[in-house]
Structure 1
């Protein structure tokens, strides 16, 4: 699966809108993620409104790049009736990674912007989107068609055999 090795955090985007079919594929990828006890704790907000994307770009010191995205997917957790609540953030992380990999497959650029566990970030995202009680913002995935920039560096091989231990 070449997408694993081709994935990069892309922070500069063209103004081109992402097609509905691609958005559905991204969401399908997110919902195909494994989850503890198949609890599927996710809810997704698809944000195309540039004003709202601008608001989201202010939720953390690292989210400014979202301002140039044509699309943001905000991943939230459902807070009630979870069989394995201690694993919700792991489940949501798997969903975000699936979205990131599908973005590469669809020739999109994307970046994962962390919201949880910072309450101040959660409050700003909740306010920007009108997220109701019972859902908690977890992450923003800002995306769009990538700009050809210096981010087109050669792939970095991160494999480090000194971190592998055979037992």
Structure 2
């Protein structure tokens, strides 16, 4: 699939046909994530693959706005390791690049996906740390719902010339 087509047409999917994604396909998504750029190539990310129905249910209790993962049947929790990257801002940017690669790779493999915010919500972060027994050096950044889409969303035009500035504001 052409890169620009994937970037422009990928949309957040919130309705899924329940079904487990094969481990081989999950590994392709994780491989794409690990090829994301990172500051000084520190690659400070860790991933928790969630595909157990009970764990998905518990995760929705930890992240109430992640209800769609019960339908999708699959999710990846993207975390950052502050022992590898001390600058939290860079850590968030690095892990966000990994999330974006997962989203684009999922679309390319014909899976639906949705980026679900975690970092920046103290209650959610505490819930996730407790639920997944994360070590002190691991910060949860985002959850990605993944599955077989049960909706089609058409991309609307987002290119806006008035948002572009050359050389100064």
TM-score (norm 2): 0.91
Note if contact 1:39-1:83 (Cα within 8 Å) is conserved in structure 2.
Answer: no
Give me the whole-angstrom Cα distance separating, in 2, the residues matched to 1:153 and 1:141: 18
Once the two structures are TM-superposed, the CA of residue 18 in structure 1 deviates from its matched residue by 0.4
Give me the whole-angstrom Cα distance separating, in 1, the residues matched to 2:59 and 2:45: 19
Please report the RMSD computed on the Cα atoms of aligned residues, expressed in angstroms: 1.4
Specify the alignment match of 1:5 in structure 2: 8
Give me the whole-angstrom Cα distance separating, in 1, the residues matched to 2:154 and 2:14: 16
Return 5+ residue gaps in structure 1 as ranges.
Answer: none
Q: Secondary structure at the match of 2:16?
A: coil
Q: Secondary structure at the match of 2:141?
A: strand
Give me the whole-angstrom Cα distance separating, in 2, the residues matched to 1:61 and 1:45: 18
Once the two structures are TM-superposed, the CA of residue 134 in structure 1 deviates from its matched residue by 1.6
> Is residue 47 of structure 2 the alignment partner of residue 35 of structure 1?
no
TM-score (norm 1): 0.92
Aligned residue pairs total 164
Give me the whole-angstrom Cα distance separating, in 2, the residues matched to 1:81 and 1:9: 30
Specify the alignment match of 2:165 in structure 1: 165
Give me the whole-angstrom Cα distance separating, in 2, the residues matched to 1:26 and 1:117: 25
* Equivalent residue for 1:47, pick from 46, 50, 57: 50
Note if contact 2:19-2:72 (Cα within 8 Å) is conserved in structure 1.
Answer: no
Return 5+ residue gaps in structure 2 as ranges.
Answer: none
Deviates more, 1:114-123 or 1:38-47: 114-123
Give me the whole-angstrom Cα distance separating, in 1, the residues matched to 2:115 and 2:36: 16
Note if contact 2:115-2:145 (Cα within 8 Å) is conserved in structure 1.
Answer: yes
* Equivalent residue for 1:105, pick from 75, 99, 108: 108
Structure 1 segment 18-167 matched on structure 2, within 5 A: 18-82=21-85, 84-147=87-150, 149=151, 152-167=152-167
Give me the whole-angstrom Cα distance separating, in 1, the residues matched to 2:144 and 2:79: 11
Task: Detail structure 1 runs of 4+ shifted over 6 Å in the superposition.
Answer: none
Q: Secondary structure at the match of 1:162?
A: helix
Q: Secondary structure at the match of 1:145?
A: strand
Once the two structures are TM-superposed, the CA of residue 80 in structure 1 deviates from its matched residue by 1.0
